[in-house]
Amino acid sequence: MRWRNRGMLARWLLSGEWQAHRVQSGVAVIAIALGVALGFAIHLINTAAFNEFSAAAHSLSGESDLEVRGPQATIDELIYPLLAGHESVELVNPVLELNVALPNHSKERKDATLKILGLDIFRASVMAPDLIGIPAEDKLFDVLADDAIFLSPAAMEWLGVKQGDILNLSVGTQTVALRVAGGLRRARAGQRIGVMDIATAQWRFHRLGQLSRIELKLLPGTDKAAFKAQLEQELEPQSQYLVAEPATREARVANMSRAYRVNLNVLAMVALFTGTFLVFSTQALSIVRRRHQFALLRVLGFTRRQMLGQVLWEGAILGFVGSLLGLALGYATATGALHYFGGDLGGGFFRGIKPVMHFDPVAAIVFFILGVGITLLGSAAPAWEAASALPAPALKSGSEDTALARLGNPWPGLFFLASGILFTRLPPIFDLPIFGYLAVAQLLTGGIMLMPRLSALIFTAISRMMQHAGHARPVLAMALARLANAPNQAAIALGGILASFTLMVAMAIMVASFRVSVDDWLRHILPADLYVETAASGDTRGLTPDEMKALAETPGLVRVDFFRSSKLMLDPGRPDIMLIARPIDISEPGNTLPLTGESIPAAQLPEGAIPIWVSEPMVDLYGYTPGKQVTLPIGIPARTFIVAGVWRDYGRQFGAIQMRLADYQALTDDRLVNDAALWLEQGVAPEQVIESMRRLPFGNALEFSDPGQIRALSLNIFDRSFAVTYLLEGVAILIGLLGVAASFSAQALARIKEFGMLRHIGMTRRQILGMLAIEGGLLTALGALLGFVLGGCISLILVFIVNPQSFHWTMQLSLPWRSLLSVALALMLLAAFTAVASGRHAVSGSAVRAVREDW
């Protein structure tokens, strides 16, 4: 009986309230659903893409226990016999893995490369059987042929070739023609790879005697850790080899996109945060409106605990429905996004794969709990207020604002602000700006909590000023009086505006700062008139010394700088870094490099020291601070270098090192270069130079671009990578505006009696609507003003803490004033319109009936 009765009572109260205020409840449910949906969808997309990316990377190496590779792209195959003869090794699988450029690339395939694996068919059939090519029945020896390549179905489809066709590939300035001999035994959906005999690959791609890695399968019972340590010791004197476990490679894959994925998830959480605030405002205003009803229930015998439970139960049901809807919506969104756009959300980490959507029950439960949890969090304060209100005073009219009196206490808000500031001083955790994110949340929460006090102070001051001036119009005076004297209710509406506008300002400043910094950086790093590279990118490109000479002798040039770029692995657990060798004036490195500080002057460098200049991530990730001596595996044996300066690099998140080309060539026997920067004689048009170079024997393999094109392309990529950010930001603002609409309409409903009374004493409907429009406009103006301040502070955290800690680059601050002011104006108009639209319903009823309303 007891539980049946209580359940019945709770159901009556809930259904009565929700049927009467469907819009408010619906808006809260939608807000929660959107927040959960965004978070869940982004998690599912990122997880699917990441899993597919990891699986694809894993599938290329088969079932090995250990692998030996070099810090540079390839190692000498002379190490192979040493490893193969090791007594603990059962099988050795040599691999040459290359990203090969495509010559006749279409626009779609621009900058794309085909991953080609050179395998020893006999060993790979044991270690990685899926990667074995399937030749035609009458050409079984194609697996060893010197002109054959086997392609995965996705690669065939992408390249538009079939078995028997000829595939042209670029090697530097030359073209290599290979016969498509068949498909692969098994490839992952969407995986674009080609497989060749390893000897053919070495020969065709000018990598004779070189391997990318050697995979080892150990004899059963071998202690892997002990063997690894022993092997490292054996190889150490040569310091050109790294021994790694497959798990390390997986960690490297995870590290590549981790900061990006975490940032995107946090951004999705912002939408959930604004949803929490919306639930709070919906519940808080609902409590205010039902203050008399709750007081009556308390008089009739509802205990405090029952009251607390009732309000929390209401919130939990909103959260339950919203979260379920959000999970369904999120799953549908993720499925659609993966189907139509693939797994890449703009970061560029997951291009060219076809992730398969999997429902993740653990993530679903986590997001469901998160959705219900934040709803309960948003309901907690209103529920506590409802439970602790004294019933006798609450039964009287005019006590509505006292219901929210606790909101006026500034100390919790100040505490949040202070702790937020403290968090900005703390270092990253696991290379992630966890405290930076917390600081943003703390500042936003603290700022919102201070709103009642601030709005009361500001509107009281304005109201007094108007009274002293003595010519306040009644409608304006009443609007101001209401805002000044009922600050807690005003603050709830203001909180919605503040939350959305603050986030918008913070994100806009951060993105604008980033974009302006990238633009400035591009101008700095692209000083030449023309840039030339061998067709497309890839590991196999390069200009020979003869070709360099021919380029340099082209008429119309005053200066040519050649660049050699290659990958370097310093830590098997981290993504490769980029080594760039180029002409650098050691006395004025700032002319070439976008330095972030002073470079160590040439005179202060130790005798014989080779200077290098490192990008900002190198400082954070590897501790390469200016003046530090470091050993790098460039040349044999490894040499010691001195870090002479730090430069800003928005192009490579995982680190890059620049050194003089002359130093590089002195240390290695690598004479190839990848790119060239050309300075033209005065009066010479770029087209003339391009025409001359096209006439060179290798001219067709060259690709030209002017700095303007590169800048436009780079900024286009920048904007594309922030498209999802804009989308998430837009949804957060939409939820914020829903909150404004919900709180205005809830307040208008709660004020029906007041409006009825005002109409009795002679105020027209138009005047009441005018009063509401002024209230809405003034609140939004204050929200926008405070949003500028709070958003500005949060943008400082994003620019100077979150970005450097996530992506290891710094930027200069830029304020997009014009767009911010336009949005603020639009928001003010929208809020005023919302206030009037909400009020129109409240004043549409009979004035007589309105004053008779009990509640």
Q: Is 225 an interacting residue with respect to other proteins (CB under 8 A)?
A: no
In the complex, minimum distance from the CB of residue 2 to other proteins, in angstroms, rounded to a whole number: 5
Q: Which stretch binds other proteins (CB under 8 A): 83-91, 303-311, 577-585, 728-736?
A: 303-311
Q: Is 398 an interacting residue with respect to other proteins (CB under 8 A)?
A: no
In the bound state with other proteins, the residue whose beta carbon lies nearer, of 9 and 796, is: 9
Instruction: Considering only residues 375 through 394, tell me which ones interact with other proteins, judged by CB under 8 A.
Output: 390-392
Structure tokens belonging to residue 372: 């219900």
In the bound state with other proteins, the residue whose beta carbon lies nearer, of 391 and 410, is: 391
Task: Find the DSSP H helices in 586-675.
Answer: 616-622, 661-667
Q: Enumerate long-range contacts of 553-556, CB under 8 Å, 24 or more apart.
A: 554/689, 554/692, 554/693, 554/696, 555/692, 556/680, 556/681, 556/684, 556/688, 556/689, 556/692
Among 22, 110, 186, 304, binds other proteins (CB under 8 A): 304
Q: Kindly report whether the peptide bond that precedes residue 637 is cis, defined as omega within 30 degrees of 0.
A: yes
Q: Is 302 an interacting residue with respect to other proteins (CB under 8 A)?
A: yes
In the bound state with other proteins, the residue whose beta carbon lies nearer, of 625 and 846, is: 846
Among 104, 168, 303, 764, binds other proteins (CB under 8 A): 303
In the complex, minimum distance from the CB of residue 461 to other proteins, in angstroms, rounded to a whole number: 24
Instruction: Please tell me the distance from the alpha carbon of residue 108 to that of residue 104, in angstroms, as a whole number.
Output: 11
Q: Is 405 an interacting residue with respect to other proteins (CB under 8 A)?
A: no
In the complex, minimum distance from the CB of residue 324 to other proteins, in angstroms, rounded to a whole number: 25
Q: Is 17 an interacting residue with respect to other proteins (CB under 8 A)?
A: yes
Note the residue count of the chain. Answer: 855
Question: Which of 634, 615, 639, 633 is CA-nearest to residue 625?
Answer: 615
Q: Which stretch binds other proteins (CB under 8 A): 1-9, 440-448, 742-750, 793-801?
A: 1-9
In the bound state with other proteins, the residue whose beta carbon lies nearer, of 302 and 562, is: 302
In the complex, minimum distance from the CB of residue 313 to other proteins, in angstroms, rounded to a whole number: 15
Question: Which of 114, 184, 171, 176 is CA-nearest to residue 143?
Answer: 184
In the bound state with other proteins, the residue whose beta carbon lies nearer, of 386 and 584, is: 386
Q: Is 20 an interacting residue with respect to other proteins (CB under 8 A)?
A: yes
In the bound state with other proteins, the residue whose beta carbon lies nearer, of 304 and 473, is: 304
Please tell me what DSSP assigns to residue 700.
G
In the bound state with other proteins, the residue whose beta carbon lies nearer, of 4 and 695, is: 4
Question: Which of 663, 665, 683, 547 is CA-nearest to residue 612?
Answer: 663
Q: Is 2 an interacting residue with respect to other proteins (CB under 8 A)?
A: yes
In the complex, minimum distance from the CB of residue 283 to other proteins, in angstroms, rounded to a whole number: 16
Q: Are 381 and 284 in contact (CB under 8 A)?
A: yes
Instruction: Please tell me the distance from the alpha carbon of residue 373 to that of residue 276, in angstroms, as a whole number.
Output: 9
Q: Which stretch binds other proteins (CB under 8 A): 5-13, 213-221, 372-380, 437-445?
A: 5-13
Q: Is 757 an interacting residue with respect to other proteins (CB under 8 A)?
A: no
In the complex, minimum distance from the CB of residue 23 to other proteins, in angstroms, rounded to a whole number: 15
Task: List strand residue ranges (DSSP E) for 691-842, in order.
Answer: 702-705
Q: Is 189 an interacting residue with respect to other proteins (CB under 8 A)?
A: no
In the bound state with other proteins, the residue whose beta carbon lies nearer, of 299 and 723, is: 299
Matching residue, tokens 């170079």: 693
Query: Residue 581: which residues within 8 A CB-CB, separation 6 or more?
Result: 563, 564, 565, 658, 659, 660, 661, 663, 664, 665
In the complex, minimum distance from the CB of residue 20 to other proteins, in angstroms, rounded to a whole number: 5
Among 64, 293, 442, 745, binds other proteins (CB under 8 A): 293
Count of C-beta atoms within a 10 Å radius of residue 467: 13
Among 36, 270, 301, 490, binds other proteins (CB under 8 A): 301
In the bound state with other proteins, the residue whose beta carbon lies nearer, of 14 and 578, is: 14
Structure tokens belonging to residue 73: 């792209």
Q: Which stretch binds other proteins (CB under 8 A): 10-18, 54-62, 377-385, 689-697?
A: 10-18
SS3 state at 763: coil
108 vs 148, 158, 272, 435, CA distance in Å? 26, 10, 36, 41
CA-based torsion, 223, 228, 233, 234: positive or negative: positive
Q: Which stretch binds other proteins (CB under 8 A): 7-15, 408-416, 539-547, 632-640?
A: 7-15
- Cα(first)–Cα(last) distance of the chain, in Å? 31
In the bound state with other proteins, the residue whose beta carbon lies nearer, of 395 and 796, is: 395
Count of C-beta atoms within a 10 Å radius of residue 786: 22
In the complex, minimum distance from the CB of residue 3 to other proteins, in angstroms, rounded to a whole number: 9
In the bound state with other proteins, the residue whose beta carbon lies nearer, of 309 and 583, is: 309
Instruction: Please tell me the distance from the alpha carbon of residue 755 to that of residue 780, in angstroms, as a whole number.
Output: 22
Q: Is 296 an interacting residue with respect to other proteins (CB under 8 A)?
A: yes
Instruction: Please tell me the distance from the alpha carbon of residue 107 to that of residue 116, in angstroms, as a whole number.
Output: 21
Q: Which stretch binds other proteins (CB under 8 A): 296-304, 529-537, 713-721, 771-779?
A: 296-304
Q: Which stretch binds other proteins (CB under 8 A): 129-137, 295-303, 488-496, 806-814?
A: 295-303
Instruction: Considering only residues 669 through 698, tell me which ones interact with other proteins, judged by CB under 8 A.
Output: none
Task: List strand residue ranges (DSSP E) for 648-791, in order.
Answer: 656-660, 675-680, 702-705
Q: Is 297 an interacting residue with respect to other proteins (CB under 8 A)?
A: yes
Residue type, 425: R
Structure tokens belonging to residue 495: 């909180």
Question: Which of 370, 316, 363, 326 is CA-nearest to residue 30?
Answer: 326
Q: Is 6 an interacting residue with respect to other proteins (CB under 8 A)?
A: yes
The neighbouring-strand residues paired with 135 are: 182
Number of residues that bind other proteins (CB under 8 A): 31
The neighbouring-strand residues paired with 656 are: 578
Dihedral (Cα; 249, 255, 257, 261), 10-degree rounding? 130
Q: Is 22 an interacting residue with respect to other proteins (CB under 8 A)?
A: no
In the complex, minimum distance from the CB of residue 755 to other proteins, in angstroms, rounded to a whole number: 17
In the complex, minimum distance from the CB of residue 845 to other proteins, in angstroms, rounded to a whole number: 11
Among 300, 362, 469, 761, binds other proteins (CB under 8 A): 300
Count of C-beta atoms within a 10 Å radius of residue 757: 14
Q: Is 341 an interacting residue with respect to other proteins (CB under 8 A)?
A: no
Instruction: Please tell me the distance from the alpha carbon of residue 755 to that of residue 770, in angstroms, as a whole number.
Output: 12
Instruction: Please tell me the distance from the alpha carbon of residue 740 to that of residue 852, in angstroms, as a whole number.
Output: 28
Among 87, 106, 208, 305, binds other proteins (CB under 8 A): 305
Q: Are 543 and 661 in contact (CB under 8 A)?
A: no
563 vs 380, 494, 532, 632, 656, CA distance in Å? 61, 56, 10, 19, 14
Instruction: Please tell me the distance from the alpha carbon of residue 553 to that of residue 689, in angstroms, as a whole number.
Output: 11
- CA 321, distance to chain mean position in Å, is 29
Count of C-beta atoms within a 10 Å radius of residue 391: 17
Q: Which stretch binds other proteins (CB under 8 A): 4-12, 378-386, 671-679, 682-690?
A: 4-12
In the complex, minimum distance from the CB of residue 7 to other proteins, in angstroms, rounded to a whole number: 9
Q: Is 5 an interacting residue with respect to other proteins (CB under 8 A)?
A: yes
In the bound state with other proteins, the residue whose beta carbon lies nearer, of 580 and 850, is: 850
CA-based torsion, 671, 676, 682, 683: positive or negative: positive
Kindly write out the interface string for residues 253-292 of this chain, putting x where it contacts other proteins by CB under 8 A and - elsewhere: ---------------------------------------x
In the complex, minimum distance from the CB of residue 395 to other proteins, in angstroms, rounded to a whole number: 7
In the complex, minimum distance from the CB of residue 13 to other proteins, in angstroms, rounded to a whole number: 8
Instruction: Considering only residues 437 through 496, tell me which ones interact with other proteins, judged by CB under 8 A.
Output: none
Q: Is 9 an interacting residue with respect to other proteins (CB under 8 A)?
A: yes
In the bound state with other proteins, the residue whose beta carbon lies nearer, of 104 and 397, is: 397
Residues that bind other proteins (CB under 8 A): 1-2, 5-6, 8-9, 12-13, 16-17, 19-20, 292-293, 296-305, 390-392, 395, 853-855
